[in-house]
Structure formats: structure tokens, C-alpha cells
Amino acid sequence: MHSSCCNRLLISSSSAPTIINCGKLLPQNIVKNVNFLPQKRSFNIHRWSAFKRWQELQRDEREYQQEKDAMKNFIRLSNGLYITPEKPSDALSRKFEVLPKKAPEDETRKDTGAFSMELMTFHTQMRYIDHSFDNTRRFKRYRHFQHLQFDQRFIPERLLFLGADLAAAHFLVHRDAAVKFVGDDVWIKKDKKGRYNLPGRKVPGLYLEAIDASDTELMFEGDSVDIL
């Protein structure tokens, strides 16, 4: 795994850079009100790291929110208080009008309320514990690598609202890079308070001319830019 910062990277051309044409390197935090899954702050080196695709994390978060909303709206009183059912499945059945309860042979461990297999096998993941500083640094570096992969994922809505060049400009400037557009000699980058001035909608005839991504942690296809 490579997650170190790019020491020096300067991409410049008269038209849109190649890094934009691939359609992968696009901006973050452009579509407002996007819920990003919070990273757990618990520092745990006692378990082997398990990588999950961000689509799976979003699916689990969505199911959790649906269950939470169904529990709160099972019996809601006029004063804002609410009564929750004994089992979450009762609330979900009432809200979504799902089919009757599954047959016992078709129920999963989650349906029966049993402990998950992840919890049941937790002790098998503690066979090797390394408290050395080297392993601690390696663990934190890998967690940071996973965060970068999720943070720099491709979101189609950004390309739809901004266009390829402006979307890439937002993506890069938000990650401490600097960009320059065709016909403009001003380099656009963050100020000391993290603010920058870029259009929030697609602008016809606006094309990137140069990108200065020095000392940034850009990644492409799950790999850091410094190995490309």
C-alpha cells in the first residue's frame, strides 16, 4: 500500500489535462448535504484491519437510519415522545409493509437477534498482537489510506453539475492543490482559512490549463499519485 504524499507534481497543458479526461479524479464536497460515513476514532491495533468498499458502508448506514427512523415513528405521541417496539423488525414491518416473518430456516443471525459472526470470531483475530511503534505507525498509515480511498471516490453528480474541468478544479483545490484556467494568469488555491473562489455550476468555455498538486495526497484508482 502506498499512501505517502506526492513530493512534487506539476501538470500543465494548453487543454484539459489527462488526469481529468479519465473521469476519475473529481472534486469532493461539491454536492451539498452529502452524508459521509464517520471514521471510527477508536485506536485498535488488536484486530486485523478489514477493508470494506464504501458502497457497503453506505448501505449499512442507510439500513441503520431506516431502522432508527422506524423505531422512533412506531408510536409517536403529540408531545414529541415516542414508544419503541420490543423488536426492531416489528417497526420495519409496520413502516415498509414487508412480507410476514421469514421461516426459521430462512432467517439470518441478524433476523434472530443472535450475535454476529464478526463478534463470534473476534477472538480468532487476536492471535498476534504487536504493540511496537512500527506496527502502530503502520496501522495508522493504513487507516489513513482507507480514508483517502473513500474520500476521493468518484461521485457522478459532481461531473453532472460542474462539468469535467470545473469538477476537477474543485476536487484539487479542496485538497490543497492550485489550478489555473485558460486565459487567466491567477492561480486559484485555498486561503489560510480554507476558503477558495470557484463557480458552483458548470461554466461554458471554462477549461483548465495547469495544475500544481505539490505536497498533496492525491490518489488514483486506489493508488497514490507518486507511484503513477
What's the 3-state SS for 24-60? CCCCCCCCCCCCCCCCCCCCCCCCCCCCCCHHHHHHH
Residue 184 banded pLDDT, cuts 50, 70, 90: confident
Lookup: cell for 61: 448506514
Residue with the bigger pLDDT between 106 and 182: it is: 182
Please, what is the average pLDDT of the chain? 72
Tell me which H or E stretch contains 219. strand 219-220
* Statement: residue 16 has pLDDT above 70: no
Residue 212 has pLDDT above 80, yes or no: yes
Q: What is the pTM of this model?
A: 0.46
Which of 117-121, 166-170, 210-214, 223-227 shows the lowest mean pLDDT across its residues?
223-227
Share of the chain above pLDDT 70, in %: 64
Q: How many alpha carbons lie under 13 Å from residue 32 in its C-beta half-sphere?
A: 2
69: confidence class by pLDDT, cuts 50, 70, 90? confident
Mean pLDDT, residues 15-23 taken together: 37
Give pLDDT, residue 30: 36
Q: Which of 51-60, 154-163, 195-204 has the lowest mean pLDDT?
A: 51-60
Average pLDDT over residues 52-57: 80
- Domain limits, the chain: 1-34+121-228, 50-108
- DSSP characters for 65-112? HHHHHHHHTSEE-TTS-EE--SSHHHHHHHHH--PSPPPGGG--HHHH
